[in-house]
Amino acid sequence: RPLPVLTFDACGQDEFCEAVAFAHPNGIPIVFTGTHKAEQIKVWDVRARACVYELATGNNSVQSLAWDAPNNCLYAATECEHMDRLGNHHDYRYAKIPKGQRGRIEGLEDDEEYDEDDEDPDCCWPSKAWHKEDYFGYLFDSGDNRIIRYAFKEDPNPSVLPEYGHATVGGDSW
- 138 contacts 65 by C-beta, under 8 angstroms: no
Instruction: For residues 68 and 86, give the distance between their C-alpha atoms in angstroms, rounded to a whole number.
Output: 32
Does the predicted TM-score (pTM) go above 0.85? no
Backbone angles phi, psi at 69, to 5 degrees: -60, -45
- Amino acid in the structure at residue 110: D
**How does 75-104 read in b/e, with b if 16+ C-beta sit within 10 Å?**
ebbbbbbbbeeeeebbebebbbbbeebbee
pLDDT at 142 over 90: yes
pLDDT at 118 over 70: no
Percent of the chain surpassing pLDDT 70: 86
Where are the domains positioned within the chain?
17-151
- 44 contacts 31 by C-beta, under 8 angstroms: yes
- Residue 21 DSSP class: E
pLDDT, residue 174, reads 44
**Is residue 106 very low, low, confident or very high in pLDDT (cuts 50, 70, 90)?**
low
Question: Which carries the bigger pLDDT value, residue 67 or residue 105?
Answer: 67
pLDDT at 163 over 50: yes
- 110 contacts 99 by C-beta, under 8 angstroms: yes
**Is residue 1 very low, low, confident or very high in pLDDT (cuts 50, 70, 90)?**
confident
pLDDT, residue 172, reads 47
Give the burial class of 140: count Cβ atoms within 10 A of its Cβ; 0-12 exposed, 13-18 middle, 19 or more buried. buried
